[in-house]
Amino acid sequence: MRTLAIETASEACSVALFEDGELLAHDNRVLGRGHAEALIPMIAALPEKGRADRILASLGPGSFTGVRIGVAAARALGFAWGALVLGYPTLALVAAQAMQRDPKPVTVCMNGGHGEWFVQSFDTGGALDPVRSLTPDAARAAGAKALIAGNRAQELAGLFDDAHEAMMLLPDAGAAMLLDTAHLTGDLSPIYGRAPDATPQKAQAGAISG
């Protein structure tokens, strides 16, 4: 069975093609922006244009636009190929990458926008708490495991007086086979990790009329 993994939730954009769990091809680029323009050509450059029986797509939290791009591509390719499409939490992938290097509990800390960070802790059994969007002060008050991983790991580690190890990591589709199957879901709804910035028009209208 071939699996195509798509990761677009951070400043990195990556794709990977696996056959029976073994990596066939992989492309990982730190773009910042431009995922929409880069993703499909990256997939097309994979063997057999990335065609797979199963597609894994990152659900976030992270870049709202990036997540939407990845999920939309996965849905479209899944429909075209008759492939099974599943989603996974981005922070779980970062945790799996960290624990592959150092198999101990880890707190993942990723940029969340608006001055906040997405924070969640994991061990080999899975998530230890729900994902939260926290200010730096709130993240410090919440505490962290001795190992902190992610693109804001150094900042969080620096807030503690005692020693915390920081592991700078971005989510990488090439590590998708490290994910426990419990993290895979057929529900492709994005994981926001924080309330939407905009208030729905109906809610605004209700507030005005009330």
pLDDT at 203: 42
Distance CA(149)–CA(128), nearest Å, equals 15
Name 12's bridge partners.
30
Count of CA atoms in the C-beta half-sphere (13 A) of 107: 23
Give the chain's domains with CATH numbers. 2-90+172-183 (3.30.420.40), 91-168 (3.30.420.40)
DSSP calls for the chain: -EEEEEE-SSSEEEEEEEETTEEEEEEEEE-SS-HHHHHHHHHHTSGGGG--SEEEEE--SS-HHHHHHHHHHHHHHHHHHT-EEEEE-HHHHHHHHHHHHS-S-EEEEEEEETTEEEEEEEETTEESS--EEE-HHHHHHH---SEEEETTHHHHHTT-SS--EEEE----GGGGGGS-GGG-BS------SS--SSPPHHHHHHHHH-
Scanning the structure block, which residue is given the tokens 């899975």? 126
**Tens digit of each residue's pLDDT, the chain (210 residues):** 999 999 999 999 999 999 999 999 999 999 988 899 999 999 999 999 999 999 999 999 999 999 999 999 999 999 999 999 999 999 999 999 999 999 999 999 999 988 999 999 999 999 999 999 999 999 999 999 999 999 999 999 999 988 899 999 999 999 999 999 999 999 999 998 766 554 444 444 443 333
pLDDT at 162: 84
pLDDT at 192: 86
pTM, two decimals, is 0.91
pLDDT at 207: 36
Scanning the structure block, which residue is given the tokens 């309330």? 195
